[in-house]
Amino acid sequence: MSGEAGRAIVLDLDNTLWGGVIGDDGLSGIRLGQNSAEGEAYATFQKFILELKRRGVVVTVCSKNNDEIAREPFKTHPDMVLREDDIAVFQSNWNDKATNIKAIGDKLGLGLKSLVFIDDNPAERERVRQELPLVAVPEIGDDPTQFVSRICKSGVFDHVLLNVDDLGRALSYEARAKAAEICAVVGNYEEYLASLRMKMTIARFDKIGRPRITQLISKSNQFNLTTLRLNEEQVRAIEEDPSRMCWQVRLDDRFSTHGIIAIVIVHKSQSEWRIESWLQSCRILERGVEQTLMNEIMRAAAGAAVTRVVGTYIPTDRNAMVEQFYPKLGFTRGSDGVDEAGVQYECNPSGYRTLPSFMEVLHL
């Protein structure tokens, strides 16, 4: 199994989290807990899932079931270890599981390569492998006493990290899913953004943030304009360089504290600023983060009497999603054109039109 997976686990229910079929056997008929060795095995497996959650893995459900019936054990069964509020996305309906897994990924803002599907049914495992080859599907068998060991041996969670930001990201994915539900209710997108009560905090690179900054710069691929890679010592050098504006950007909303979600590095000269690196976490897409950040950059540039801000897009096989990043923010193709360094865009701060923003901004 690939170590790229393991950011979210997608769980079947019947004969995976408990023995039996909840829709047929009822709450009192499922096998879970201390009444049998089999029931204890399922409880042990749930404890393992809960530990993964504590370590930053997002827990979701994908089950062919009546939704109300499927939720009942989480609400009322005395031996359930996992509870409803441990589940970031609860996808219980009669759609095929591949469709539901894709929906789970969309709600969380995660790619399929980040998902691990757990199901006791070999036919369901095989169908998901065929239809969604990027999803990791460990061969767990049908013996609940072997579930934990087989998942561990598959390697899909070998990379689980224990730093604060990794743990916080799990809450962010859960918050994204809850926010998506609110968006469906609110309807108007601008009202939805305002309802999140977002707060952006911008600070210069510092010693405390340096490990997470380095991690983001080293690993971010999709929302990354130049894919500039730096080690921790290089990050520290930029941090100490007065000719560079280096921002670590945090975001909070009413659901979650997301930690550092964006990095911007700008090289400053007297009349021109060049954006050397701009990257964002994909878990906070469509929040208006880039619009708010660009407003702040252009405000600072105008205050410094800068006449030209230049941004570069360097295409890779992973970052096509930001190909139109600068044009969408009001930049035009620069006089430097296209070269080995990528596509150049520019904007005069005096002519920049401030973009709509739905968050409070605090500079530290």
The answer on pLDDT for 161 being more than 60 is no
Tokens standing for residue 163: 């730093």
Least confident residue range of 55-59, 168-172, 218-222, 336-340:
168-172
180 found inside a domain? no
More confident residue, 174 or 286: 286
Domain encompassing residue 16: 8-154
- 261 and 120, same structural domain? no
Nearest-5° angle of CA 227, CA 324, CA 353? Answer: 110
Output the pLDDT for position 78. 85
CATH of the domain at 266: 3.40.630.30
Tokens standing for residue 232: 């921790």
- 197 and 85, same structural domain? no
- 267 and 131, same structural domain? no
163 found inside a domain? no
Output the pLDDT for position 127. 84
Output the pLDDT for position 162. 43
The answer on pLDDT for 243 being more than 80 is yes
Q: Which of 14-18, 153-157, 283-287 has the highest mean pLDDT?
A: 14-18
- 235 and 140, same structural domain? no
The answer on pLDDT for 186 being more than 60 is no
Residue at a domain's end among 154, 178, 202: 154
HSE-up of residue 299 (Cα within 13 Å, Cβ side): 10
The answer on pLDDT for 2 being more than 50 is no
186 found inside a domain? no
Tens digits of residue pLDDT in 323-362:
999 999 999 998 766 666 799 999 999 999 999 999 999 9
2 found inside a domain? no
- 84 and 141, same structural domain? yes
Output the pLDDT for position 163. 45
For residue 319, with 0-12 CB atoms within 10 Å meaning exposed, 13-18 middle and 19 or more buried, which class applies? buried
Output the pLDDT for position 1. 42
d(CA 283, CA 261): 8
- 214 and 321, same structural domain? yes
Q: How many domains does the chain have?
A: 2
CATH of the domain at 37: 3.40.50.1000
3 found inside a domain? no
Tens digits of residue pLDDT in 49-76:
998 998 889 999 999 988 999 999 999 9
119 found inside a domain? yes
What's the chain's average pLDDT?
88
184 found inside a domain? no
- 195 and 150, same structural domain? no
Q: Which of 205-214, 221-230, 260-269 has the highest mean pLDDT?
A: 260-269
The answer on pLDDT for 165 being more than 80 is no
- 353 and 231, same structural domain? yes
- 318 and 195, same structural domain? yes
- 128 and 23, same structural domain? yes
176 found inside a domain? no
d(CA 166, CA 8): 12
Least confident residue range of 143-157, 287-301, 350-364:
143-157
- 222 and 135, same structural domain? no
- 314 and 204, same structural domain? yes
Q: Which one, of 165, 197, 194, 200, lies nearest residue 297 by Cα?
A: 200
**Amino acid residing at 198:** M
Output the pLDDT for position 167. 47
- The answer to whether the Cα torsion of 51, 56, 57, 58 is positive or negative is positive
d(CA 236, CA 207): 8
Residue at a domain's end among 131, 154, 177: 154
> Contact at 8 Å (CB) between 294 and 266?
no
Q: What pTM, to 2 d.p., does this model score?
A: 0.55
Q: Tell me what the mean pLDDT of segment 5-11 comes to.
A: 89
- Assign 3-class secondary structure to the chain: CCCCCCCEEEECCECCCEECCHHHHCCCCCECCCCCHHHHHHHHHHHHHHHHHHCCCEEEEEEECCHHHHHHHHHHCCCCCCCHHHCCEEEEECCCHHHHHHHHHHHHCCCHHHEEEECCCHHHHHHHHHHCCCCECCCCCCCHHHHHHHHHHHCCCCCCCCCHHHHHHHHHHHHHHHHHHHHHHHCCHHHHHHHCCEEEEEEECCCCCHHHHHHHHHHCCCCECCCCCCCHHHHHHHHCCCCEEEEEEEEECCCCEEEEEEEEEEEECCCEEEEEEEEECHHHCCCCHHHHHHHHHHHHHHHCCCCEEEEEECCCCCCHHHCCHHHHCCCEEEEEEEECCEEEEEECHHHCCCCCCCEEEEEC
More confident residue, 63 or 153: 63
N residues, the chain: 364
Q: Which residue has the tokens 């708010």?
A: 292
Residue at a domain's end among 154, 169, 203: 154
Output the pLDDT for position 214. 94
For 175, phi and psi rounded to 5 degrees?
-65, -40
Output the pLDDT for position 132. 94
